[in-house]
Chains A and B, each alone.
Chain A
């Protein structure tokens, strides 16, 4: 499980978990789950198109996830944001369906593209992933304060144009998407970006601690998923989805228990706490 090509899988998957957990923290803070679902899912068309014209999958993913981010940002300026997101997503997926119908050999690649294939990570994907991870984390560090402020207080972000913040955030999601898709697949990145940070948010209110916790949970989810996927041969996506959901459920139960004990200790009327 730790020999030869699997070493690359472990390195890449760990990087993916770190970036996913960190970017996911902002997705949860901003309540942008739909966007975080749309960009990775839509980037599928990029991978399908890349194999059609014969360029690297990472390039295709990058182009389409950036295009998706820009499309959502532009369409979202005029009209309803969730509608813009939904239509951008389905349009990109429609293109993906078209590209798929053009290419001949697709079935195993399609499944690994959608649901992840840890064992298929080849050597030449390690260095681009390391590079993308570094860039994502640097961007995240640079944006930390304005993004946090805009996420917590959307109306009161002291002079920073909310559209530019939103755009920067969408591009960050696109970056993280590009490096994550080859490992966990277009459909399951989203679980990795939502479950661990949501669990972390349920456990603590301090942003720094929540970010660290989110990364830790994401790494734990990915490591367990790889180990089980390697041993059972089941798709890694199933384990990522199941563990992310369990992490979230555990976090919710924990915070519920904490609230309940605090409530009984302070003898507050229950209506005050449950009315929100």
Chain B
């Protein structure tokens, strides 16, 4: 028995992967909870755009000496504000508004990375910001992640009922006197914070995987939003932890040391596909 365990958990896993496991797990739970609403509201593109734009904030951290998380956070919240202002709440034209903001954000990333690598001779910056480096994350991030995750979870719990109604039927919500736009804006801020956390964890351009993947999988398995949010949190947590474990074990595979982000994203994709196999009828019924 112990030899089997030993083969699965290669030596040193528990001592050195504790911080990544804690931070990654926390982020996975928050991201999946927020993501359930992202999928219900059909805002995957907004999540993706916020994550990508976050790369501009992450790369600016190589120019000004602050931890990357603050760069991610500042720019995702700012971008969420801009998107809200130029009309993300309307289905018509919101893709364009999102896209324009996203394109501009990537332009800034290009500039910041260029300035960062030429003025400070930093190497590896693009990889870390865009594709993440959960395995090397510093334990000093833990309090920040805990605080930001807590705030996001609090917003979600406080807004749960009105947000659900607004997401499922804006007209009905408006008729009941719920401030639809205000709730939408508050949700977008929560999404921005969750995306900033995901950016930090698995990288700016992969953050969508944590937001959308587990939630979409959970919504294939159950149609109850609360169950879906909980299931999504479990799936996200499982994928991140298993990804960390596989990445740790991969030091003994060819090419030594495969990236954590690759495993996490691949696991999320696999789980999503498996959930589709299990309930093909449900998926078809929803589409029609």
Interface residues of A (CB under 8 A from B): 28, 31-34, 36-38, 41, 77-80, 82-83, 85-87, 89-91, 93-98, 100-102, 106-107, 110-111, 114-116, 185, 187-188, 190-191, 194-195, 198, 234-235, 237-242, 244-245, 248-249, 276
Contact assessment for B203 and A86 in the assembled complex, using a CB-CB cutoff below 8 Å: no
Q: Does B148 contact A (CB under 8 A)?
A: no
3 shortest interchain CB distances as A-B pairs: A241-B107, A191-B103, A94-B265
Contact assessment for B48 and A195 in the assembled complex, using a CB-CB cutoff below 8 Å: no
Residues of A within 8 Å of B286, CB to CB, are 79
Q: Which residue of A lies closest to B215 (CB)?
A: A83
Which of the residues A77, A93, A188, A234 comes within 8 Å of B103, measured between beta carbons? A188
Contact assessment for B255 and A78 in the assembled complex, using a CB-CB cutoff below 8 Å: no
Which of the residues A80, A87, A106, A188 comes within 8 Å of B106, measured between beta carbons? A188
Contact assessment for A237 and B212 in the assembled complex, using a CB-CB cutoff below 8 Å: no
Q: Does B171 contact A (CB under 8 A)?
A: no
Contact assessment for A98 and B106 in the assembled complex, using a CB-CB cutoff below 8 Å: no
Q: How far is the CA of A189 from the CA of B212 in the complex (A)?
A: 24
Which residues, 83 to 105 on B, are CB-close (under 8 Å) to A? 92-93, 95-96, 98-105
Q: Does B261 contact A (CB under 8 A)?
A: yes
Contact assessment for B106 and A111 in the assembled complex, using a CB-CB cutoff below 8 Å: no
Known A33-B96, A78-B284, A198-B96: A241·B103 in contact at CB below 8 Å: yes
Contact assessment for B212 and A194 in the assembled complex, using a CB-CB cutoff below 8 Å: no
Report B54 CB to chain A, min CB distance, Å: 13
Residues of A within 8 Å of B272, CB to CB, are 83, 87
Residues of B within 8 Å of A33, CB to CB, are 45, 95-96, 98-99
- Add 8 more A-B contacts to A190-B106, A241-B107 (CB < 8 A): A37-B99, A78-B280, A82-B44, A86-B45, A97-B206, A100-B131, A242-B107, A245-B100
Q: How far is the CA of A77 from the CA of B283 in the complex (A)?
A: 9
Find the residue from B44, B92, B107 having the highest chain A CB count within 10 A. Answer: B107
Known A33-B95, A37-B48, A190-B99: A237·B107 in contact at CB below 8 Å: yes
Contact assessment for A34 and B104 in the assembled complex, using a CB-CB cutoff below 8 Å: no
Contact assessment for A115 and B113 in the assembled complex, using a CB-CB cutoff below 8 Å: yes
Contact assessment for B208 and A86 in the assembled complex, using a CB-CB cutoff below 8 Å: yes
Report A241 CB to chain B, min CB distance, Å: 2
Report B52 CB to chain A, min CB distance, Å: 8
Find the residue from B100, B123, B124 having the highest chain A CB count within 10 A. Answer: B100
Contact assessment for B107 and A238 in the assembled complex, using a CB-CB cutoff below 8 Å: yes
Q: How far is the CA of A157 from the CA of B124 in the complex (A)?
A: 49
Contact assessment for A90 and B110 in the assembled complex, using a CB-CB cutoff below 8 Å: no
Q: Does B205 contact A (CB under 8 A)?
A: yes
Q: Does B269 contact A (CB under 8 A)?
A: yes
Residues of A within 8 Å of B280, CB to CB, are 78
Residues of B within 8 Å of A38, CB to CB, are 48
Q: Does B238 contact A (CB under 8 A)?
A: no
Contact assessment for B44 and A83 in the assembled complex, using a CB-CB cutoff below 8 Å: yes
Residues of B within 8 Å of A190, CB to CB, are 99, 102-103, 106
Report B148 CB to chain A, min CB distance, Å: 22
Q: Does B149 contact A (CB under 8 A)?
A: no
Residues of A within 8 Å of B203, CB to CB, are 97
Contact assessment for B261 and A80 in the assembled complex, using a CB-CB cutoff below 8 Å: no
Residues of B within 8 Å of A244, CB to CB, are 100, 103-104
